[in-house]
Amino acid sequence: NWRMLHTDGGVIEVEASFQDLRDDRTVCGVVATLRDVTERRRMESELTHQAFYDTLTGLPNRALFTERLRDAVERAEANGTLVGVLFIDLDDFKVVNDTMGHTVGDEVLVTAGERLMATVRAHDTVARFGGDEFAALIEDATEAEEIDAVATRVLAMLAQPIPLGEHLVGGAASIGIATTIEALDGPDLMRQADLALHVAKTAGKGQWRRYQTELHTRLLERMEIKSDLEEAVATGAFLLHFQPIVALDSGGT
């Protein structure tokens, strides 16, 4: 694989192969074959970019984030550091799309991505999973509080109104945090961060929550109660009693 200077001054990519035919009486030399693969390499590069990057924001997508997370967990196990995952969901983004249109919504997403990149460190990863869902991979932390501090900075940065023409659009977000203190591997980190995000959004907007074991226990209990209630409704297990309120002086209800 070579890069060569074209006669027009541009650079092309070339595949070069050589065959020693000096013992072949009909050739008596070395045959060099050059093939211009510039366009093919460009298409391969575009396909690779589409497979691993979000087309709107240019950020890594879920697939690339998952790969980097796996590698980060392996490095953390080797050097004794912590890895943190932040799941970030923009509050009330659907309202922006519904009232101001998807063009404005896209501008909000691009700005949110830029602000996230400006908040984390250069070797951390910010990704967009789709819709208004973002994620951040924080590496080389020595304690969970460092990752909490990143979440606090992200909330403050995103909370600043986004100027779009004559309008100011809010960018408040909710964040769920998971660290390798609780999680065993990459998939476990993502599951825990997702659960913590659910708890943060339930608690109110513009907040972050870090995963703790009791969160999982409480969520399972709620899911069991919900399932039991749905089954009870379906099977007619509820018995309804009315307790009328009666006026003693008149006997009316």
N residues, the chain: 253
Residue type, 233: V
For the chain, report the end-to-end CA distance as a whole number of angstroms.
92
Pick from 155, 200, 147: nearest CA to 178: 147
d(CA 194, CA 246): 51
Q: What DSSP designation does 143 have? A: S
Neighbours of 138 (CB within 10 A): 23
Neighbours of 32 (CB within 10 A): 9
Per DSSP (E only), the strands in 144-223 are: 162-164, 167-169, 173-179, 208-210
Residue 178 contacts by C-beta under 8 Å, 6 or more apart in sequence? 84, 85, 188, 189, 190, 191, 192, 193, 196, 210, 211
Catalytic residues: 132
